[in-house]
A and B are shown apart, each in its own frame.
Chain A
Amino acid sequence: MSTTYAPQPGSAPWTRKVLSHARMEFRLLIRNGEQLLLALVIPLGLLLLLGGTGLGDRLPLGDGRAVDLAVPRVLALAVLSSSFTSLAIATGFERRYGVIKRLGASPLSRTGLLAGKIGSVLAIQVIQLAVLVGTGFALGWKPVGGASAVIGVVLMIVCGTAAFASLGLLMSGILRAEATLAAANLLYLLLLVGGGLMTPVDEYPAGMQSVVRLLPSAALANGLANSTIEGVIPWAAALSLALWSALLAYLVSRTFRWD
């Protein structure tokens, strides 16, 4: 009896599937010029402008040296671009091209798909962090707080990624690919200017402050700023992002579909 195609079904171990998926998404992302623009070129350009040209001294970044104020906020922007905008657009087009459907009929599983996507985002963020922190130091950035600052930054990146990745997955699950592309870019710009990302909440008009303060973008940027400027672990910002993550992840679980 021939055994060439004889059934021998089975799933690869969960960790192998997740790593395999994360590697695949990472490879595809670094081949994609538009995605690299969002993930690296825009944050890097902004950091050079704000921290290296004197422009940061003229903008409402807060009190202190421009480069010290700019680095944590540009890090927040980088987290937003990789975990939200990039992820939402990529997932929207995966749905359009039938990739999500194809994977739905594979052994990957929903948790495997989501874990693989988060793994790919975290890998991109390691590169973002290395490039932006390295550039920050080259521009004279002097963070304070030592280990507390490091813990605070990592905590903020993890919590911010959880919240914004959930938002990106939610958006790509309920909108068409083109609408996701438009809405993700629009929200990126709105949060950049009006979401407490580049400008501290205290610099906003009094009527807006209480609203802006509640946004996950403000929590992320302020948490990162508190970590590296004051050297504290920003527990309140972490709690805010954790609550956003829980709400958005619940909505993702209610709206997720394989096609």
Chain B
Amino acid sequence: MPVAVEIDNLVVRYGEKTAVDGLTLTVTGGTVTSVLGPNGAGKTTTVESCEGFRRPDSGQVRVLGLDPIADHDELMPRIGVMLQEGGAWSGVRALEMLRYVAGLHAHPLELPDLIERLDLGTCGRTPYRRLSGGQKQRLSLAMAIVGRPEIVFLDEPTTGLDPHGRREIWQLIRDLRDDGVTVVLTTHAMDEAEQLSDQVHVVSAGKLIASGTPDVLTEHGAKSLEDVYLALTAKPAKETR
């Protein structure tokens, strides 16, 4: 399978703080790949480097063979991005926003099907600021995929959803992958990563500390991914007298 994302020795600093510290990883096309890590590990900065929002201090990022900053206008129609929060005018109505984003693309998805699948019909005329957390998440996901992208970056896509909603989104992510869309997922939900991922990358302190399929990382189901993750990212024990 082709490489969809190639990150080579990426370093991103915010002033004195190094958020990403020599990270190297690849994402294979047509897979669901999860990037896991504690808060502040550099996950969002890594993904935002792929989306063209962060300029690497050193190293290289290639998405679909393109530089996210130098080739911004060529790359953006080909990717979908779900932000962790926000991303819409406070007074815009839900479906008005979705139609607007769809209109920026050449071959958007059929909106009635998408609206039904993500259950956006009942809140279609509701201003964005009055949507529930779950409705905002579903609208944000709809905006990420409406342009028929080759790759979607989903930042904590099921935060704020009830269990039914989570399962629906999981199935949608599987359907995207089955239809040939590459999905890059950042999440704190280990069950989500274990259920959905073909490949998992664990990031800590800006570095890649483990990679593999969920099956390999969990030693063929002998451990849960959460246990593996907790062991990998455990803080060093404090010395006691």
Contacts and interface: CB of A to CB of B under 8 A. Distances in A.
Given A97-B88, A107-B104, A7 B178 contact: no
A9 B103 contact: no
B53 A2 contact: no
B52 interface: yes
B133 to A, nearest CB: 15
B101 A98 contact: no
Interface in B110-134: 113
B5 interface: no
B73 A106 contact: no
Binding site secondary structure of chain A: loop
Contacts of A5: 109, 145, 148, 175-176, 179-181
B79 interface: yes
A187 interface: no
Interface string A96-111: 0111011011111100
B106 A11 contact: yes
B92 interface: yes
A109 B104 CA distance: 10
Given A2-B179, A5-B175, A10-B106, A32 B52 contact: no
A2 to B, nearest CB: 5
A7 B181 contact: yes
Interface in B62-118: 72-73, 76-81, 83, 85-92, 96, 100-101, 103-107, 109, 113
Contacts of A20: 100, 103-104
Given A7-B180, A258-B52, A108 B104 contact: yes
B85 to A, nearest CB: 7
A24 interface: yes
Contact of B83 (A31, A94, A98): A98
Contact of B86 (A27, A32, A99, A258): A99
B149 interface: yes
B105 A258 contact: no
Given A7-B179, A10-B107, A98-B85, 5 more contacts: A4-B179, A9-B79, A101-B86, A101-B87, A106-B104
